[in-house]
Structure 1
């Protein structure tokens, strides 16, 4: 039996092809197995279309930035503002000077002020007496030299009463009767009524002058 020279060649090529195919299939199987061993990554889609309203909490903004501060107001009774205007009533039977002085009861004390919105002690007495035609210097020492001296037991309404608060004549008020006087006391109290028998004023009393007859 004779064989063709080409048959062995074809047979060999066939074997080689079969071997290559087997290796390729083996690689595919390994690759597929390796891929299956890898952890899977799941991508989830998110639906952004929603009718729900998400409320974001507001920041705690200080109300000061919204200009809602309410300032506190203090009302002070300052009496009348001048001659003939209504103010705190003077005691019954008071002289014209005393009645007028009462119109400024409660006005503030400011050093050097001479009225009508604020006073110091000598500014108060000079302002009151000016309304009755009596000119008094805006200085306690000068007022102590005006008019005539009056003893403490002979005081009448409208007399000026003096005190040596700082060792010399340094404070003045207007006597209103019943042992009391009205004066611009200090920045804490303003124009008030005090008693001559109070410890401080009793110990610093310096005398009185009558400037209006």
Structure 2
């Protein structure tokens, strides 16, 4: 079988290209081409070399980064998940001492506690029970949801506040217990002094 000189030269050039580029550790993506546009003018697309041995690693998000830290600000979703986040965060302070006028994080009074918890979720409440009783919207006792503020007439009109945690319970800074604790709404002391509730999260 006879080969023309032109075919032999093309074959030799092809083999030479394999020897040269085959030993290179970098994988080349060759994009040289001629593209004809609508005006019949030729446009050259230049080649590009792409390294394929690069690995991009993204850092894993730790579980701790999901919950707000003391004094931090974070957004809270409106709805049941946001309310449960508020309650879960409040429980992190169980047992912290009650100190009149304190607003956390090492000690609290009742309105200081509720203001601090909601403040961690970028919701500002005054450190005053009477002002908190005007916040949000009124909600009946039968329709309480976790995260709602519950108010009591303990030593005067609307003088105590806590956060409803569900199941007929609320978490609060109790002067009687001297600490952050959980109490039953149905307990005689609180049921007889119940003043109402406000929903901060719609």
Bin the TM-score by the shorter chain.
0.5 to 0.7
Partner residue of 1:47? none
Could you tell me which residue of structure 2 aligns to residue 173 of structure 1? Answer: 162
Which residue of the other structure, out of 185, 188, 195, is the alignment partner of 1:199?
A: 188
Partner Cα distance (2:91, 2:156) in 1? 29
- What is the alpha-carbon distance in structure 2 between the residues aligned to residue 204 and residue 167 of structure 1? 10
Correspondence for 1:129:
118
Contiguous gaps of at least 5 residues in structure 2: 1-66, 71-80
Question: How do residues 64-83 of structure 1 correspond to structure 2 at under 5 angstroms?
Answer: 83=68
Mapped pair 1:152 → 2:141 = yes
Task: Work out the CA distance in 2 between the residues paired with 1:114 and 1:98.
Answer: 17
Q: How far off its partner does 1:187 sit?
A: 6.1
The list of structure 1 runs, each at least 4 consecutive aligned residues, that deviate by more than 4 angstroms after superposition, is none
In 1: Cα distance, 2:117 partner to 2:184 partner: 20
CA deviation vs aligned residue, 1:178-211 (integer Å, no higher than 9, x gap)? 0000000016430000000000000000000001
| 1:157 CA drift (Å) | 0.4
Deviations 1:55-112 (A, max 9, x none): xxxxxxxxxxxxxxxxxxxxxxxxxxx9348xxxxxxx97000000000000000000
Q: Take 1:122 and 1:136, find their aligned partners in 2: how far apart are those partners?
A: 9
5 Å-filtered alignment, 1:1-213, equals: 83-84=68-69, 95-186=84-175, 188-213=177-202
- More strand by percentage: 2
Instruction: Using structure 2 for the length normalisation, give the TM-score.
Output: 0.59
What is the Cα deviation at residue 212 of structure 1? 1.5
Shift of 1:131: 1.1
State the Cα distance separating 1:130 from its structure 2 match: 0.5
* Partner Cα distance (1:144, 1:138) in 2: 11
Look at both structures and tell me which one has the larger radius of gyration over its CA atoms. Answer: 1
TM-score (norm. length: structure 1) = 0.56
Aligned CA RMSD, in angstroms, stands at: 1.8
